Amino acid sequence: MIVVVIGVSGSGKSTIGTRLAQAMGGEFLEGDTLHSRSSIDKMSRGVPLNDDDREPWLAAIHARIAAAHRRGAAMVVACSALTHDYRQTLERGVSLTWVYLKGSEALFRSRLQQRTSHFMKADMLASQLDTLEEPSIALVVDAAATPDEIVERILRQLPLQRAGGG
């Protein structure tokens, strides 16, 4: 099973993805580690990425997902995957389970303002929210819940899929 935890910056993708992968006994892939240096520099300057910037990044994530799928490995990926097209790119030829961390702009902005070591700053949140196309098929979880609560809710909804039910 491959689970992709999606949402805007500050939604908790990395925290939840790490904990979920551990609970599932699977690999964790932090999508942000696959951004190019030029994209990281761009975002660090407060400049939103465009589709041309995101294309090689999404392709790199998809390659890792496809490799895990071929190995039959369990994997959890943290990736914003803000649009339907981005999610289609990631899902090409592979069955994925989507987990969408949904919450308020105020919650996400507060979290981003508390971060010091990440290239994605609070002033970039508006561009992500403008780009966001909420998924129509995903496990939707309230990002305001505690990480333990979120992981527990996700795990309760995954057993059928882990047993080959979907």
Residues 93-135: pLDDT tens digits? Answer: 999 999 999 998 888 888 777 755 655 555 677 778 888 899 9
Sorted by sequence, the CB contacts under 8 Å of residue 105 that are 6+ apart come out as 125, 129
DSSP-based three-state secondary structure for 159: helix
Which band of pLDDT confidence, cut at 50, 70 and 90, is reported for residue 147?
A: very high
- Using alpha carbons only, give the angle 85, 152, 79 rounded to the nearest 5 degrees: 25
Confidence at residue 108, expressed as pLDDT on a 0 to 100 scale: 84
Is 103 contained in some domain? yes
pTM summary value: 0.85
**pLDDT at residue number 122:** 54
pLDDT the model gives residue 166: 32
Number of domains in the chain: 1
Q: Tell me: the pLDDT tens digits for 82-104? A: 999 999 999 999 999 999 999 98
Query: For the segment 28-44, what is each residue's pLDDT rounded down to a tens digit?
Result: 999 988 888 888 888 77
Domain extent at residue 30:
11-162
- Domain assignment of residue 156, yes or no: yes
2 domain residue, yes or no: no
pLDDT value at 165 more than 90 = no
Distance, CA of 93 to CA of 164 (rounded, Å):
17
Neighbours of 21 (CB within 10 A): 21
**Is 149 contained in some domain?**
yes
The token duo for 34 is 């696959």
- What integer pLDDT is reported at residue 159 of this predicted model? 56
SS3 at position 147 = helix
* Residue 106 within any structural domain of the chain: yes
Residue 3 in any domain: the answer is no
**Domain CATH code at residue 151:** 3.40.50.300
Measured between alpha carbons, how far is 125 from 85 in angstroms, rounded to an integer? 20
